[in-house]
Amino acid sequence: MIGIAVVSQKGGVGKTTVALNVAYALARRGSRTLLIDLDPSGSIGLSLTRRVAKAPGVAEFASRAAPLERLLIETRLNELMILPAGQVPPLRAPDFANILSSGEVLRDLCRVLRDDIDIVVFDTPSGFGGATLGALKTADYAMCPVQAEPVAARLVLRVLDLIAGLREEGAHVTLAGILITMLQQQSKPSTTVAEELWQSLPKDLLFRTSIPRDAAFLDASAAGVPVGLLRRRAPPVAMAFEQLAAELEQRIGLVPKESRDGPIALVD
Ligand SMILES: Nc1ncnc2c1ncn2[C@@H]1O[C@H](COP(=O)(O)OP(=O)(O)OP(=O)(O)O)[C@@H](O)[C@H]1O
Ligand SMILES: [Mg+2]
């Protein structure tokens, strides 16, 4: 099992959108994938259906109120499951973060599912609070969306510092990559920031894929679906996540299950 935490210090940069859509793309490509919502405001739940928002999840697993198999939500893809954050009253949000901060609860959770899941994607709340720290102490990789805007480069450095600090304390998380999100190809300020990032960061730190700003993401979150399920013929931006998933698979060294992978005959 490989754990990937989607983290950023700044809110609203597209973490939940990236976590949901990349989990969907990884599952479509054949990895048994679990998307775990660690945002006590239930952001995955909110962007999917009301059923997910109201379901028990991580909070109930942590308090031992329910066994894990009853908390997992199946999706229309056999390979994709969702574990919601669960029911956390706003006043209890700090307790939820505290319980998760050591990473022990999340490591327990992963241990139970070790044989059934290939990839766990953690959607985290913004900032470097308890849930995010717990995810980073559990995950093998971190993925950091940055919005194509002027403060982006500074924020990237803080994520790198955090990961370095956690590794010094014994965590094994490494950076899978920085992902430029909400890129506006027609806007000079947006492309300038992207160019600055491409020039200032080592090439292997940045995903070659970037996610464009596109109204389809708003439509998809209003409809409660990954953008690939917005309509029968998925909009072009869904392909950005196919490409991202393929790139991510290479970066995390995901070995194809088929032992003899290679060209597949077009004609017998
Ligand atoms: N590439 C995109 N193009 C257009 N809109 C987007 C894109 N990515 C995300 N959005 C929209 O931007 C808003 C914020 O995105 P999202 O919720 O994914 O960010 P977040 O980092 O998870 O936020 P938070 O820090 O609150 O958890 C949402 O309304 C989402 O639909
Ligand atoms: Mg979010």
Q: Is 249 in the pocket of ligand 1 (CB under 6 A)?
A: no
pLDDT digits (tens, 9 = 90+) for 200-243: 888 889 999 999 999 999 999 888 899 999 999 999 999 999 99
Counting residues of the chain whose pLDDT is more than 70, the rounded percentage is 97
> Residue 191 burial (CB < 10 Å; 0-12/13-18/19+)?
middle
Looking at residues 121-125, what average pLDDT do you find?
97
Task: Look at residue 84 and tell me whether its pLDDT is greater than 90.
Answer: yes
Q: Is 224 exposed, middle or buried (0-12, 13-18, 19+ CB in 10 A)?
A: middle
Higher pLDDT pick, 181 / 50: 181
Q: How far is the CA of 39 from the centre of ligand 1 (A)?
A: 14
Greatest Cα pair distance in the chain: 63
Instruction: Give me the mean pLDDT over the 165-191 stretch.
Output: 94
Q: Whose CA is nearest to atom 3 of ligand 1?
A: 213
Res 63: pLDDT: 94
Q: Which residues, including other chains, have CB under 8 Å from residue 85's CB and lie 6 or more apart?
A: 37, 38, 39, 40, 41, 42, 44, 45, 57, 58, 59, 96
Task: Say what the pLDDT of residue 246 is.
Answer: 96
CA count, 13 A, side-chain hemisphere, 5: 32
Q: What angle do CA 156, 161, 166 make, to 5 degrees?
A: 130
φ and ψ at 141, to 5 degrees? -135, 150
**Ligand 1 atom at minimal distance to the Cα of residue 20:** 18
* Rounded distance from Cα 11 to ligand 2 centre (Å): 7
∠ at Cα 108 (6, 171), nearest 5°?
A: 55
DSSP 183: B
Over residues 241-250, mean pLDDT: 97
Taking each helix axis from N to C end, the angle separating 104-113 and 130-138, rounded to the nearest 10 degrees, works out to 40
Q: How confident is the model at residue 83 (pLDDT cuts 50, 70, 90)?
A: very high
Among 10, 38, 217, 227, say which to mutate for ligand 1: greatest number of ligand atoms within 8 Å of CB: 217
Closest-approaching ligand to the CA atom of 37: 2
Average pLDDT rounded to a whole number, residues 252-266: 78
Measured from the alpha carbon of residue 14, the closest ligand is: 1
- Which domains, and CATH codes, for the chain? 2-247 (3.40.50.300)
Q: Pairing between strand 141-147 and 174-181? A: parallel
Distance 123 CA to ligand 2 centre (A): 7
Compute the distance between CA of residue 221 and CA of residue 45 in angstroms, rounded to an integer.
10
Residue 40 has what pLDDT?
A: 80
Nearest to 21 by CA among 197, 220, 261, 266: 220
| Cβ neighbours of 262 (radius 10 Å) | 6
145 CA → ligand 1 middle, Å: 10
pLDDT of 45 > 70? The answer is: no
How confident is the prediction for the chain on average, in pLDDT? 92
Counting atoms of ligand 1 from 1, which one is nearest the CA of 43?
A: 27
Task: Enter the pTM of the model.
Answer: 0.95
Tell me the pLDDT band of 258, cut-offs 50, 70 and 90. Answer: low
- Name the least confident of 69-83, 94-108, 248-262: 248-262
